[in-house]
C-alpha cells in the first residue's frame, strides 16, 4: 500500500515538474527569440504563423509556440487546440522527465526512440538548435553540457551571463502575467 502511494506521488510530481518546465521553456523561448541574434536567425526562415508543439503522449503537458515573423516566437500556452505544423511528442512522461531534468540529451532521447516528430524534419532540427541555444545560455555550463549535443565553443561568460539574466527576467514577467490571468475570475 505504501509503495503504491509513493509511486503515485512520484508520478504526480514528475507530471507537475514536466508541466512547470514546459511553461518555463515556453516563456524562455519567447524571451530568447527577442534578444539572441543566433536564435532570431535560426527562427527567421520559419513561415509566419508556424506553430510548434512539444508534448507528452497521450494527453500530457505541452508547450506551444507560434512564429510571428522576423524570427520572433510567441508562447501560446499549453491549452492550444489549433493546427500544429511541427510536434515533438514524448512517448511517456518518464521520457520527458529524463530530458527535462537534463539526465538525457534530446538527441539521445530521439535516438532511443523516446519521442516522435510529426512535421517537417528540417523544422524539427531548427527548433532543436533553438532549444539547445536556450539551454546553453540559461543553464550553468556543467548542466548545459549534459543537456545539449555540443556546448557552443564561442559562448563566453560575457555573452552568457547578460543573456541569461535578460531571459530569466522576461520569464519571470511572463509567469507573473500567467498567474494574474489564472487568478482572474471567469
> What pLDDT shows up at residue 78?
85
> What pLDDT shows up at residue 2?
66
Tell me the three cell numbers of residue 166.
Answer: 535578460
Judge contact between 65 and 82, C-beta under 8 A: no
> What pLDDT shows up at residue 38?
95
> What pLDDT shows up at residue 32?
97
> What pLDDT shows up at residue 134?
96
Domains in the chain (CATH in brackets) are 2-183 (3.30.1050.10)
What is the torsional sign of CA 120, 122, 128, 130? negative
What is the rounded (10 degree) CA torsion for 41, 45, 49, 54?
-70
**Cα(130)–Cα(115) distance, integer angstroms:** 18
pTM of the model: 0.90
* β 51-56/86-90 pair status: parallel
Judge contact between 27 and 171, C-beta under 8 A: yes
> What pLDDT shows up at residue 76?
95
Give Cα separations from 99 to 45, 53, 93, 161, 162 (angstroms): 26, 16, 10, 23, 25
The DSSP H or E segment spanning 166 is: helix 157-183
* Residues with Cβ within 8 Å of residue 132, at least 6 apart in sequence: 106, 147, 148, 149
- The per-residue pLDDT string of the chain (186 residues; one tens digit each, 9 = 90 and over) reads 667 778 888 889 999 999 999 999 999 999 999 999 999 999 999 999 999 999 999 988 999 999 999 999 999 988 888 999 999 999 999 999 999 999 988 888 888 999 999 999 999 999 999 999 999 999 999 999 888 888 998 898 899 999 999 999 999 999 999 888 887 765
Amino acid at each position: 500500500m505504501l509503495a503504491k502511494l509513493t509511486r503515485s506521488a512520484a508520478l504526480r510530481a514528475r507530471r507537475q515538474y514536466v508541466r512547470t518546465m514546459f511553461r518555463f521553456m515556453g516563456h524562455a523561448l519567447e524571451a530568447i527569440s527577442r534578444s539572441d541574434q543566433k536564435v532570431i536567425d535560426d527562427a527567421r526562415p520559419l513561415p509566419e504563423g508556424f506553430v510548434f508543439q512539444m508534448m507528452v503522449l497521450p494527453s500530457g503537458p505541452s508547450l506551444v509556440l507560434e512564429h510571428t515573423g522576423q524570427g520572433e516566437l510567441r508562447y501560446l500556452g499549453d491549452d492550444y487546440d489549433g493546427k500544429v505544423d511541427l510536434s515533438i511528442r514524448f512517448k511517456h512522461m518518464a521520457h520527458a522527465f529524463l530530458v527535462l531534468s537534463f539526465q538525457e540529451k534530446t538527441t539521445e532521447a530521439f535516438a532511443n526512440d523516446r519521442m516522435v516528430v510529426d512535421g517537417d524534419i528540417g523544422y524539427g532540427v531548427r527548433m532543436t538548435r533553438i532549444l539547445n541555444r536556450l539551454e546553453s545560455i540559461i543553464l550553468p555550463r556543467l548542466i548545459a553540457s549534459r543537456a545539449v549535443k555540443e556546448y557552443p565553443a564561442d559562448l563566453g561568460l560575457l555573452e552568457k551571463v547578460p543573456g541569461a539574466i535578460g531571459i530569466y527576467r522576461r520569464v519571470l514577467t511572463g509567469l507573473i502575467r500567467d498567474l494574474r490571468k489564472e487568478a482572474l475570475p471567469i
